Amino acid sequence: MEDKVRYVARLARIKLTDEEVTLFSRQLDGILGYVDKLNQKLDVQNRTLPMSHPHEASNSFRADEVKPSLPPEKALSNAPQKKGDFFKVPRIIEE
Amino acid sequence: MAYEPVVGLEVHVQLKTVSKMFCGCTTEFGGAPNSHTCPVCLGFPGTLPVLNRRALVEAIRVALAVGCKVSDKVKFHRKNYFYPDLPKDYQISQYDEPLSENGHLKIKTGGGEKTIRIKRVHMEEDAGKLIHEEGGDSSFVDFNRSGMPLLEIVSEPDINSPEEAYQYLTDLKLLLRYLDVSDCDMEKGSLRCDANISIRKKGETGLGTKAEVKNMNSFKAVKSALEFEFERQSKCLETGERIVQETRLWNPDKGITASMRSKEEAHDYRYFPEPDLVPFTLQGDLVDEERKNLPELPEARKGRFIGALGLSGYDAEVLVQDKATADYFEECVKFYNKPKIISNWLMGDVSAYLNSKNLSAGDSKLKPQGLAGLLKEVDSGKISGKMAKDIIIEMLDTGKGAAAIISEKGLSQISDTGELEKFAEETIAENAKTAEDFLKGKDNALMFLVGQVMKKTKGKANPAVVNKILRDKLSKK
Amino acid sequence: MDNLYSLTAGELLSLLDKKSVKPEEIIESVYSRAQSVDKKIKGYIHLDKEKALSQAKGLPASGRLRGIPVAIKDNICVEGELTTCASKILRGFKPPYNATIIEKLKSEGAVIFGKTNMDEFAFGSSCENSSYFPTLNPWDTARIPGGSSGGSAAVVSADEAIMAIGSDTGGSIRQPASLCGVVGMKPTYGRVSRYGLIAFASSLDQIGPLTKNVHDAALLLGVIAGFDSKDSTSVNVPVPDYLSYLKNDVKGMKIGIPKEYFVAGMDKEVEAAVKEAIALLKGKGAQIVEVTLPHTEYAVAVYYIIATAEASSNLARFDGVQYGYRCEDPANLLDMYERTREEGFGAEAKRRIILGTYVLSSGYYDAYYLKAQKVRTLIKNDFEQVFKSGCDCILTPTSPTPAFKVGERSSDPLSMYLSDIFTISVNLAGVPALSIPCGYTKGGLPVGMQLIGDFFKEEELFRAAYTYECGTDWHKRSPEL
């Protein structure tokens, strides 16, 4: 479980301390053990459709019309770091 | 040992809507950084996507045009991964139930026509753009492109040479242009292509380990990158080196592909149904309606040009290759019903001029009706074909009508036989010896006399008429 | 006039109508009440009297809530105002836009009055998971107010707000309403626009009212409900005039009592209070029938798979790029992501993101997520069966226990998750439900009961709740502070 927690924490981009890994592993074991009753006690028919949403009916479309954008200074007003009208992040190495 | 490449192409096309896929920001190219953004395409918390109907309709048109089966259900998934150009750190895309599947595109190859199967055509949203600081330690993000509507067109690995890949892209682009759903401009990024390539011994049917090649910004680059990869993988097999599954970047300056060495972790995108967009059933008539509204596609048009308009296969092919030229041609035929002559002019003087100015037929100052007018003047004998060649340049330059230019410059050809007979008699009298030569059987002598009459009329005489008059007069001698 | 703060919105509106009070006086009264009691309760995160007063100056000429201050849970975006989900990762965030419900409230003349505390990102049932401070129960400040809309429930209960807005993903309006002795409603999924509600689990979240009585809940829902073109998941069903359903009459109404909700081990005082309430409604002419919701026991498991999976994706955007917190001096991009999220999220948020990422990860999707989605279908079918059989609503306890002590469950996530055992199924099915006070324990803690209705039948719940309220005076009690 600890390896799995480390793998998942990396996917989720959250750094965990060793203590947190141990704690979360124990807690997740408990929660997953509880959740596993779905698999142990309940035999779900294959024909039961998975439900991703309470209503599966009509979608509301949007007409293809241009609406005003934010002024860049407003778009960037919450940015932790910016340069000019760009959001700034640590350099990304692509090669 | 003879190998052949096995190639599948993933083409991303930016759809031609005026607003983004899930918000009302403009899709206009360029603009100051982050000036075409709003809380939705910036991924601000609490915002929600609402699907642009036009984007869906255009996607359906493409799917139908490549013969895909369009699903009756529209369902989006989230593809989860972290990257600074991805504002929500997931991309709204389609996964196990794409908009459409199982189509094909017929391409022309050296050995005739070949069918490339298309696996799927699905919708997704585009990411923003990253700019890397030269020598610095920062990168910068511009979200203007974030949320642009994209179509991903995935082929099966049916392509077996770099040339076929090039042809597939050319034909696909032509189709998209005909559908008027995308600008297909690789330089502006409205068409992008990644290639999966593996190789195998000729005659075998299995698939080898593939490399994914990215970063090609022209069809030629795709061809060159595939040529390089084919060579590289062939050498690997010959020397017993293992081919690894990896992503490789095309380096246009060096003309090579190179492995992306970044410690990319195994992809685990955790796709799941996008809960912010309710899956919905496409109303039956929407797809049928679009099917009815599909324009005539290049293949059909070419057939019609040959069959109904009597063009040669070559001419039809050339005209159809550029939708604007083909449209121009058809418009012109409406005013002047001699398709072959129009096609000669279009493919000759007109396209030479337009190419030199880097213009499309649609942008030409010379309109189809104007070209038809000019050709009618030639037919009526008012001007010679040679004069028309000069006049057309001025028409292309200025957009003036043929009649206006002819009268402005007094270019009208003299076909009035009375006037010409006078000139002919003068000429025969002045050149008695030459006239005699002609009567003795020297045909060339007549040409000289025609030339003299032309000179007298400052080139405005209709040479055919002059020729006839001279013959008549001399034969009566 | 004294004690304006202790009145309901309905009472204040009639005073405003008669011009016996001014909106500014109401704001002053509620604000000074908050000044005096919120030190003990800690229900508000952000509260600015001047901003409230300045809104009172620019009110529309008329409106269903004209001059009424409404407290807003901190996960709902108010343009230019701090909106942080009680999380460090959103410290300082001021959205450049309003949630749709904020626009609706303002257009009806409501005054946006402060942001209330909550469990971080609505992850919790006790309001202890706030990155600011825990909120305490006005009836006993050694106890939790419930969560995650604990701040909204507590400020209404303590008369520091006339009415409040909360959000409910698995019980986050109803459970704190029950524990604080106020009325709280989770509307039908799609009834109220989610645009501007910072998502926890998109397919479960709904915004709803927390109020002092049933009338105010009907009034407030009437204002915020309705289709929104900015939210594809909102549904275009006309909004009835809920106030016209407030009739003291349940004759012929068929109320289902699910046997799965009255099980051994539940708190005796809660059980007794709810059974008395059933008897009262029966006395008023309702027909009481036993019904079954057979997949109830799986609801918590299904919920913690679906809700955490959606949350893990919804919370990915908090990465330190466009807004919110960013760690100091990141060594590179990966370091920026990992430390920003390590430092910005609290323990429960991390736990849920990790659980949600786990159930979606390669190799586990089918066993957990897909399976949970299928059982979700079964749970929805259970409710549909009951309503098809002719029931107008279903009555259950809201919470298996009254308010528990601060710290009692915070070290055991599973026991905390089980606090929502009676409220979670409703979100999975998407149906509406309301919690209303139905008694007090010997120790003086409020007990709530839950009324669950069919899709888009909120009015039936208001009618049943109003009739019940007319027969009791629980809603008139206030905590001593």
Closest alpha carbon within chain B to C96: B39
The active-site residue, picked from C29, C42, C73, C130, is C73
Sequence ranges of the domains in chain B: 3-287, 320-408, 417-475
- pLDDT, one tens digit per residue, over B9-63 is 999 999 999 999 999 999 998 899 999 999 999 999 999 999 999 999 999 999 9
Closest partner residue to C77 (CB to CB) among B42, B46, B87 is: B46
Contact flag C377-A50 (C-beta cutoff 8 Å) = yes
User: Quick one: pLDDT at residue A58?
Assistant: 62
Q: What is the DSSP letter of B159?
A: B
Chain C interface disruption, residue of B81, B270, B277, most C CBs within 10 A: B270
Q: pLDDT for C231-273, tens place per residue?
A: 999 999 999 999 999 999 999 999 999 999 987 678 999 999 9
HSE-CB of B166 using CA atoms within 13 angstroms: 15
- Looking at residue B243, its pLDDT comes to 87
If we measure between CA atoms, which residue out of B263, B255, B257, B254 comes closest to residue B236?
B257
Percent of chain B whose pLDDT exceeds 70: 97
Q: In sequence order, what DSSP letters do the residues of B437-470 get, joined into one string?
A: HHHTT-HHHHHHHHHHHHHHTTT-B-HHHHHHHH
Whether C138 and C180 have beta carbons less than 8 Å apart is answered as yes
Domain with CATH 3.90.1300.10 in chain C: 4-253+390-476
Q: CB-based contacts of C427: which residues, under 8 Å, 6+ apart? A: C168, C169, C170, C171, C186, C189, C204, C206, C303
Q: Which two tokens stand for residue C110?
A: 């409501």
DSSP state of C243: G
* Angstrom distance (rounded) from CA A53 to CA B320: 47
Tell me how close the Cα of C203 comes to any Cα of chain B, in angstroms.
5
Q: pLDDT over 90 for what percent of chain B?
A: 52
pLDDT digits (tens, 9 = 90+) for C19-63: 999 999 999 999 999 999 999 999 999 999 999 999 999 999 999
Sign of the torsion angle spanned by Cα atoms C224, C226, C232, C237: positive
Q: How far is CA C47 from CA A45, A85, C28, C72, C412, in A?
A: 52, 32, 12, 10, 33
Q: What is the DSSP string of B340-389?
A: HHHHHHIIIIIHHHHHHHT--GGG-SS-HHHHHHHHHHHHHTSS-HHHHH
Say whether pLDDT at C377 is over 70: yes
Interface A–B counts its CB contacts (< 8 A) at 137
Q: State both tokens at A33.
A: 């053990």
- What pLDDT, on the 0 to 100 scale, is given for residue B396? 84
Best mutation target among A51, A52, A83, A87 (most B Cβ atoms within 10 Å) is A87
Which range has the top average pLDDT, B64-78, B263-277, B299-313, B441-455?
Answer: B64-78
Q: What single-letter DSSP state applies at residue B37?
A: -
Residue C414 φ/ψ region, left for φ over 0, alpha for ψ in the -120 to 50 degree band, beta for the rest:
alpha
Assign A85 to helix, strand or coil.
coil
- Superfamily of the domain at C4-253+390-476: Amidase signature (AS) domain (3.90.1300.10)
Question: By the 8 A CB rule, do B89 and B80 touch?
Answer: yes
Q: Could you read off the pLDDT of A51-82 as tens digits, one per residue?
A: 988 887 665 689 999 999 999 999 999 999 99
- Least CB–CB distance from C313: residue in B44, B48, B78: B78
The pLDDT value recorded for residue A54 is 87
Q: What are phi and psi of A53, to 5 degrees?
A: -160, 140
Rounded to the nearest integer, the mean pLDDT of chain C is 96
Cβ(C141)–Cβ(C405) below 8 Å: no
At residue B350, the pLDDT reads 85
Cβ contacts of A68 on chain B, cutoff 8 Å? 24, 38
Contacts of C83 in chain B (CB under 8 A): 46
Q: Are C5 and C30 in contact (CB under 8 A)?
A: yes
The residue ranking higher by pLDDT, C288 or B378, is: C288
pLDDT per position as a tens digit, A7-37: 999 999 999 999 999 999 998 888 888 888 7
**Which residues neighbour C144 within 8 Å (Cβ) at sequence distance 6 or greater?**
C126, C127, C128, C134, C135, C136, C137, C150, C179, C403, C404, C405, C406, C408
Q: Compute the distance between CA of residue B390 and CA of residue B376 in angstroms, rounded to an integer.
A: 15
What confidence score (pLDDT) does residue B442 get? 82
String of b and e for B333-359 (b: at least 16 CB within 10 Å)? bebbebbeebbebbbebbbebbeeeee
B450, B463 contact by CB (below 8 A): yes
Say how far apart CA B471 and CA B465 lie, in whole Å: 10
pLDDT at C100 over 90: yes
pLDDT for B216-233, tens place per residue? 989 999 999 999 999 999
Q: For C269, which DSSP code?
A: H
> Does A28 contact chain C (CB < 8 Å)?
yes
Instruction: Answer yes or no: C148 catalytic.
Output: yes
Structure tokens at C290: 């036993």
Res C425 pLDDT > 70 = yes
Instruction: Determine the Cα–Cα distance for residues A5 and C354; give it in Å rounded to an integer.
Output: 7
Is the pLDDT at C379 greater than 50? The verdict is yes
Cβ neighbour number for residue C39 with a 10 Å cutoff = 8
Question: Is the pLDDT score of C144 beyond 50?
Answer: yes
Task: List, as one string, the DSSP characters of A11-22.
Answer: HTT----HHHHH
C157 is catalytic: no
Length of chain A: 95
* H or E stretch covering B172: helix B162-179
Distance of CA B150 to the CA centre of its chain: 19
Q: Is the pLDDT of residue B443 over 90?
A: no
B239 class by beta-carbon count within 10 Å (0-12 exposed, 13-18 middle, 19+ buried) = exposed
Nearest CB among B39, B80, B272 relative to C96 is that of B39
Average pLDDT value for residue range C437-451: 97
Tokens found for residue C296: 């109830």
Q: Provide the 10 A C-beta neighbour count for residue C87.
A: 28
Per-residue pLDDT band at B266 (split at 50, 70, 90) = low
- Is the model's pLDDT at B385 over the cut of 80? no
**Subunits touching C (CB < 8 Å, at least 3 pairs)?**
A, B
What is the pLDDT at residue A95?
41
Question: Is the Cα torsion angle C115, C120, C122, C128 positive or negative in sign?
Answer: negative
Q: Which fold has domain A1-43?
A: Histone, subunit A (1.10.20)
The whole-angstrom separation of Cα B67 and Cα C354 is 43
CATH pick for B417-475 out of 1.10.240.10, 3.40.190.10, 3.40.50.150, 1.10.10.410: 1.10.10.410
End-to-end CA distance of chain C: 20
| The residue to which tokens 């529309």 are assigned | C60
Chain B nearest CA to C27, separation (Å): 28
Asked if residues B195 and B213 have their Cβ atoms less than 8 Å apart, the reply is yes
pLDDT > 90 in chain C, percent: 94
Closest CA to B378 of B397, B354, B404, B402: B402
Q: Which of B46, B50, B80 sits opposite C198 (nearest CB)?
A: B46
Closest CA to B25 of B40, B15, B14, B13: B40
Burial of C157 (0-12, 13-18, 19+ CB in 10 A): buried
Residue B453's pLDDT is 83
Amino acid making up residue B203: G
Q: How many A-C residue pairs are in contact by the CB < 8 A criterion?
A: 159
- Bond prior to B146 in cis (omega within 30° of 0): no
- Can you give the residue ranges of every domain in chain A? 1-43
Cβ atoms within 10 A of the Cβ of B326, count? 22
What does the pLDDT read at residue B1? 64
Burial category of C476 from C-beta neighbours within 10 Å (exposed 0-12, middle 13-18, buried 19 and up):
exposed
Q: Report the C-alpha gap between B319 and B327 in whole angstroms.
A: 9
